[in-house]
Amino acid sequence: MTVLLGVIAVFAILSLVVAASQARAIMRLAPASAELGAFMVLGWWKFGKLEAKAGPAAAANLQIYKRATIAFLVFILLGVMLSGWAVSQRPAASDTAAVTGAVAGRVVSVSLIAFNTDLRRVAMPGATLLES
């Protein structure tokens, strides 16, 4: 399962690299009258606005950019779903072993190993202490 998740991650990274390189190519091929700040639509799924700004010279790069962006999002979604499924299929650890484990022949009380969640005041130099 780890190998499959690694392969999905590699494909996601490769599609991200392709999308970034195509975005750079789109900005390079754009006419001089198009402002560089207007290309903030690259990451906002506004491909129509991007096509209008970039012009016909960047149409091929825009198609590759669209596909690479969609592939990146699909691979990320697939990786998250697969990792969640893998975690849910993992056998659970025995709860009784964690609660009543034998330490030097004795049974350990849960209160001894429980995390102390009490909030305590800490004296810090320069900080005022307000009490309610």
Residue range 25-41, pLDDT digits in tens: 888 887 777 665 656 66
Listed by start position, the domains of the chain span: 2-96
Q: What is the pLDDT of residue 8?
A: 94
User: Can you give the pLDDT at residue 11?
Assistant: 96
More confident residue, 49 or 87: 87
- State residue 21's pLDDT score: 93
User: Taking residues 118-131, what's their average pLDDT?
Assistant: 60
Question: Residue 103: what residue type?
Answer: V
Angle in degrees, 0-180, between the axes of helices 59-89 and 47-54, rounded to the nearest 10: 150
The predicted structure's pLDDT at residue 30: 77
Question: Of the candidates 54, 74, 71, which has an alpha carbon nearest to the alpha carbon of residue 62?
Answer: 54
What's the mean pLDDT in 66-95?
A: 87
Specify the pLDDT at position 70. 92
Give the predicted TM-score (pTM) of the model: 0.62
Q: Which residue has better confidence, 47 or 130?
A: 47
What whole-number distance in Å separates Cα of residue 110 and Cα of residue 98? 9
Give me the pLDDT at residue 111, please.
60
